[in-house]
A and B are shown apart, each in its own frame.
Chain A
């Protein structure tokens, strides 16, 4: 049944661009997919392993800069740049993870240190020469599939779709793997997990590397899509916040939560723009309020609500 649903969803997702034929809505869907994929990346670390990162921009920005610099400076093909960005994001994850987990940082301390790392990288990117400093980097326009640049948004849509399928697939596989079970044990009670012989350091490290690699991939896609990156976009707190909002709204530690969360979050932002007009900060007011409301009334996210409703219907059917 679930498989049928997923197959149906895939067919719809593949056909959607031919059904809506609107550049604006295609752009909207690309944003939804991109943040669904990166939200899943955050979910690997935050949702399954329970380690809340407030600095995923560190991975996003590194991926974005890695692909841009390698392409502009060394002529690396952007498709390979995607892989390079994943490696770079994973490496940053390795460094941050090794340092913070080795010294046993948890909870708010972990959140703060990830934020601090992202800030350090932002300041460095602002001053260093090879990142273009505060001006940022422009990726030269060379339209062609081989260059990962497309004439219409259609191409970007399918790349974003592929990225989302990959990311959700990682989550799906994680849920069924030994690592996933161990991460969830760490989330529920780290000391108990260690007492049962789980190598908590290695497990958390694997989680942050996977998370960093996927987020770095998202950063590279962002650069190719907008053909521009600067320190504020790459390492600013805005990206970190948007990435973490998605799985929290959708449902922590679930495979489809990030997709649902991203759709609702960006849908709400778009609705706000339609209702009140485009003003600076407006969609963010909605994002912030949504976050508070979700934590207050639906701490399990929208997936929790879906489950609750379906369970109620089952019970009604059985009675």
Chain B
């Protein structure tokens, strides 16, 4: 059963799926990892992005071109959501954030169910089934693009946080909210900006996902716990950690699916999640939690 001829393609396949997980998790790293906003609506917001790209495709816009629309659109949605709902309703308590984002995700998801019905939808693109031969295995083109995009996105986010004034302000707010406010930083604005940037990442992830995945109101469920797993596994707030964590999770799922059967593939993810939380809550690359 452990024949490399089967294992290697499965691992590579998992790696490309992992890139998709990393794409979804990168936004959460900023929201949950840096600012500790436990965003349960992350999956539903991805779903919004997917439906956006899906309807744009109906009007003849290529999903990769839709990036130009969906990224700013989801940024705006995230900014407004954090500024007007989550920030105000949470009264600064972690548990309230948990509940508010849960409530928001229930509303968003079921609005989609109400308007778009539960049917899963897919789009047809000429390159959806295009394969690239990388020597040891055939890899689908959209997945390869997703892999490249996740690397690029991680780099962009890192630059944003490490090198820009906005990034400096975000880090200041994450470390010491009151101190940041005293230094003249508009904390509510920075929170909303971070949330917006995190959701904008989902806009990008949605456009890159659409050619190889399906859309349904409940698609967020597939990703939300996986995204938390990736963030916790990679280490809170570490973009490279999220990237590596995502790839690792993808490979784990693929190999578990191969060894235990398709339906048990996801169980590997959740067991890793539980084990990480229990034994190494600071993640693989994070600094130790105080």
* Chain B positions within 8 Å of A295 at CB level: 89-91, 96, 99-100, 103
Pick out which of these stretches binds chain B: A17-25, A146-154, A277-285: A277-285
Q: Which residue of A lies closest to B221 (CB)?
A: A237
Instruction: Classify chain B: how many residues form its interface, as a range.
Output: 35 or more
CA of A103 to CA of B89, assembled, Å: 31
> B263 near A: Cβ within 8 Å?
yes
Instruction: Classify chain A: how many residues form its interface, as a range.
Output: 35 or more
> B239 near A: Cβ within 8 Å?
no
B267 touches which of A99, A112, A120, A279 (Cβ 8 Å): A120
Pick out which of these stretches binds chain B: A28-36, A205-213, A286-294: A286-294
Pair A127/B274 contact, Cβ less than 8 Å: no
Chain A, 105-136, contact with B by CB distance < 8 Å: what is the 0/1 string?
10111011101110110011011000000000
Q: Which residue of B lies closest to A283 (CB)?
A: B110
> A299 near B: Cβ within 8 Å?
yes
**Would you give the shortest CB distance from A31 to chain B, in whole angstroms?**
18
Pair B91/A280 contact, Cβ less than 8 Å: no
**Best-buried of A100, A108, A285 by chain B (most CB within 10 Å):** A108
* Chain A positions within 8 Å of B279 at CB level: 103
> A241 near B: Cβ within 8 Å?
yes
Pick out which of these stretches binds chain A: B14-22, B112-120, B142-150: B112-120
A296 touches which of B89, B217, B232, B271 (Cβ 8 Å): B89
* Chain A positions within 8 Å of B271 at CB level: 120
CA of A114 to CA of B221, assembled, Å: 15
Q: Which residues of chain A in 31-83 are interfacial with respect to chain B, using CB atoms and an 8 Å cutoff? A: 50, 52, 54
> A179 near B: Cβ within 8 Å?
no
CA of A291 to CA of B90, assembled, Å: 12
B110 touches which of A107, A113, A248, A281 (Cβ 8 Å): A281
* Chain B positions within 8 Å of A123 at CB level: 263-264, 266-267, 270
In the complex where A112-B228, A280-B117, A282-B114 touch, is A288 in contact with B264 (Cβ < 8 A)?
no
In the complex where A113-B274, A116-B270 touch, is A281 in contact with B100 (Cβ < 8 A)?
no
Q: Which residues of chain B in 147-163 are interfacial with respect to chain A, using CB atoms and an 8 Å cutoff? A: none
> B65 near A: Cβ within 8 Å?
no
CA of A119 to CA of B91, assembled, Å: 30
CA of A124 to CA of B261, assembled, Å: 12
* Chain A positions within 8 Å of B95 at CB level: 50, 52, 107
**Would you give the shortest CB distance from B118 to chain A, in whole angstroms?**
6
Pair B261/A296 contact, Cβ less than 8 Å: no
CA of A124 to CA of B36, assembled, Å: 31
* Chain B positions within 8 Å of A299 at CB level: 91, 96
B264 touches which of A99, A109, A116, A127 (Cβ 8 Å): A127
A248 touches which of B94, B99, B263, B277 (Cβ 8 Å): B99
Pair A292/B100 contact, Cβ less than 8 Å: yes
* Chain B positions within 8 Å of A248 at CB level: 99
**Would you give the shortest CB distance from A129 to chain B, in whole angstroms?**
12
> B38 near A: Cβ within 8 Å?
yes
Pair A288/B99 contact, Cβ less than 8 Å: no
Q: Which residue of A lies closest to B267 (CB)?
A: A123
B277 touches which of A105, A119, A126 (Cβ 8 Å): A105
> B223 near A: Cβ within 8 Å?
no
Q: Which residues of chain B in 83-123 are interfacial with respect to chain A, using CB atoms and an 8 Å cutoff? A: 85, 88-91, 94-96, 98-100, 102-107, 109-114, 117-118
CA of A4 to CA of B139, assembled, Å: 73
* Chain B positions within 8 Å of A112 at CB level: 38, 225, 228, 232, 273, 277
* Chain B positions within 8 Å of A100 at CB level: 277-278
> B281 near A: Cβ within 8 Å?
yes
Pair A292/B104 contact, Cβ less than 8 Å: yes
* Chain B positions within 8 Å of A119 at CB level: 225, 266, 270
B106 touches which of A103, A126, A287 (Cβ 8 Å): A287
17 inter-chain pairs at a CB distance below 8 angstroms, sorted by A residue, are A52-B99, A103-B279, A107-B95, A112-B228, A116-B229, A123-B264, A123-B270, A285-B107, A288-B103, A288-B105, A288-B106, A290-B103, A291-B102, A291-B106, A292-B85, A295-B100, A296-B88
Residues in A lying within 8 Å of B, measured CB to CB: 50, 52, 54, 99-100, 103, 105, 107-109, 111-113, 115-117, 119-120, 123-124, 126-127, 237, 241, 248, 279-282, 284-285, 287-292, 295-296, 299
Apart from A124-B267, A288-B106, A292-B107, what 11 extra A-B contacts exist at CB < 8 Å? A54-B98, A103-B277, A103-B278, A113-B274, A116-B225, A237-B221, A248-B99, A282-B114, A285-B106, A285-B110, A295-B96
Report, nearest first, the 6 A-B pairs whose CB atoms are least far apart: A288-B106, A281-B110, A291-B103, A281-B113, A296-B89, A288-B107
